[in-house]
Chain A
Amino acid sequence: MTANTRAARLPAAALLLILVWLVVYPLLLVLLEGIQGPGGWTLAHVHEFVARPTEWEALRGSLIISVASVVLAALVGIPLAVLFARYDFPGRRILAGLVALPAVLPPLVGVVAFLFLYGESGFLARAVQAALGLEEPPWRLEGAPAILLVHAYSMYVYFYLLVRAALLSLDGAQLEAAASLGASRGRTLRRVVLPALRPALTGAALLTFMTALASFSAPYVFGGGYRVMTTQIVATRLNGEEALAMVETMSLTLLAVLALTLFRDADRDPARGVGKGTAPAPVRVRRTLARAGLAVLGWGLAVLLLLPHLTLGLVSLVPVGTWTVEALPPAWTLGNYATLVRDPVRLRPLLNSLALATAATSASIVIGLAAGILVVRRRAPGRRLIELLLGLPWAVPGTVFAIALATAFSVHQPAAGRWILVGTVWILPLAYLVRSLPLTSRTTLAGFRALDPSLDEAAAALGAGRWRTLTAVTLPLLRPSLVAGGTLAFVTSLGDFVTSIVLYTYDTRPISLEILSSLRQADVGVAAAYGVVLMILSGLVFAAAADRRTSAG
Chain B
Amino acid sequence: MTDRFLTLEALTRRFGDHVAVNRVSLTLARGEILALLGPSGSGKTTTLRLLAGFESPDAGRVLVEGADVTGLTPAARRFGMVFQHYALFPHLDVGANVAFGLESLGVRGDELDRRVTKALALVDLAGFEHRRIAQLSGGQQQRVAVARALAPEPRVLLLDEPLSNLDPTLRERTRRELRDVIRRVGITTVLVTHEQEEAFDLGDRVAVLREGRLEQVGTPDELYGAPATPFVARFVGRASELRGRLLGRTSEGARLEVEGCVWTVPTGDSARSEIAPGAAIQILLRPEALWLAPLHPGALAATVLERRFAGASALYLVRTEAGTLLEVGGPGAAATAGDRVGLAPSRRSGGGIHLFPT
Residues of A within 8 A of B (CB): 2-3, 452, 454-455, 457-465, 468, 472-473, 476-477, 552
Contact = CB atoms under 8 A, between A and B. Distances in A.
A274 to B, nearest CB: 22
A477 B90 contact: yes
Interface string B241-276: 000000000000000000000000000000000000
B122 interface: no
B5 interface: no
Contacts of B80: 461
Contact of A465 (B55, B75, B148): B75
B231 interface: no
A473 B92 CA distance: 9
Given A2-B55, A473-B89, A476-B91, A463 B81 contact: no
A460 B73 contact: yes
Given A452-B87, A455-B87, A473-B89, A461 B81 contact: yes
B56 A3 contact: yes
Dominant secondary structure of chain B at its interface with chain A: loop
Interface stretch (B99-107, B108-116, B299-307, B331-339): B99-107
Interface in B53-73: 53-56, 73
A230 B232 CA distance: 71
B183 interface: no
Closest 4 CB pairs of A and B: A463-B104, A462-B101, A458-B87, A454-B87
Contacts of A473: 89
Given A2-B55, A3-B56, A460 B87 contact: no
Contact of B81 (A455, A458, A552): A458
B116 to A, nearest CB: 13
Contacts of A468: 104
B29 to A, nearest CB: 23
A476 B83 CA distance: 20
B163 interface: no
Contacts of B91: 476-477, 552
Nearest to B104: A463
Nearest to B13: A2
Interface of B: 52-56, 73-75, 78-81, 83-85, 87-91, 100-101, 104-105, 148-149, 152
A521 to B, nearest CB: 52
Contacts of B75: 460-465
Contact of B104 (A3, A455, A457, A462): A462
A459 B83 contact: no
B90 A462 contact: no
A462 B100 contact: yes
Contacts of B53: 460
A452 B87 CA distance: 7
Nearest to B73: A460
Contacts of A552: 91
* Residue with the highest number of chain B CB atoms closer than 10 Å, among A452, A460, A477: A460
Contacts of A476: 91
A474 B197 CA distance: 37
A468 B91 CA distance: 15
B27 to A, nearest CB: 23
A457 to B, nearest CB: 5
A462 B148 contact: yes
17 contacts: A2-B55, A2-B56, A452-B85, A457-B52, A458-B81, A458-B87, A458-B88, A460-B53, A460-B75, A461-B101, A463-B75, A463-B78, A464-B100, A465-B75, A468-B104, A473-B89, A477-B90
A464 B83 CA distance: 16
Contacts of B84: 454
Contacts of A454: 83-85, 87
A22 to B, nearest CB: 33
Given A2-B55, A454-B84, A476-B91, 7 more contacts: A457-B54, A458-B89, A460-B73, A461-B75, A462-B101, A462-B152, A473-B89
A464 B96 CA distance: 14
A2 B57 CA distance: 10
Contacts of B105: 463
B83 A458 contact: yes
Nearest to A455: B87
A458 B101 CA distance: 9
A540 B56 CA distance: 49
A476 B90 CA distance: 10
Contacts of A477: 89-91
B100 A457 contact: no
Contact of A464 (B55, B81, B104, B148): B104
A468 B106 CA distance: 13
Contact of A460 (B54, B85, B148): B54
A473 B80 CA distance: 18
A457 B55 contact: no
Contact of A459 (B78, B85, B100): B100
Given A2-B55, A473-B89, A463 B101 contact: yes
B285 to A, nearest CB: 42
Contacts of A472: 100
Contacts of B55: 2
B83 A460 contact: no
Nearest to B101: A462
A3 B55 CA distance: 8
A452 B88 CA distance: 10
A461 B89 contact: no
Given A2-B55, A455-B89, A458-B89, A463 B152 contact: yes
B9 to A, nearest CB: 19
B83 A457 contact: yes
A110 B208 CA distance: 68
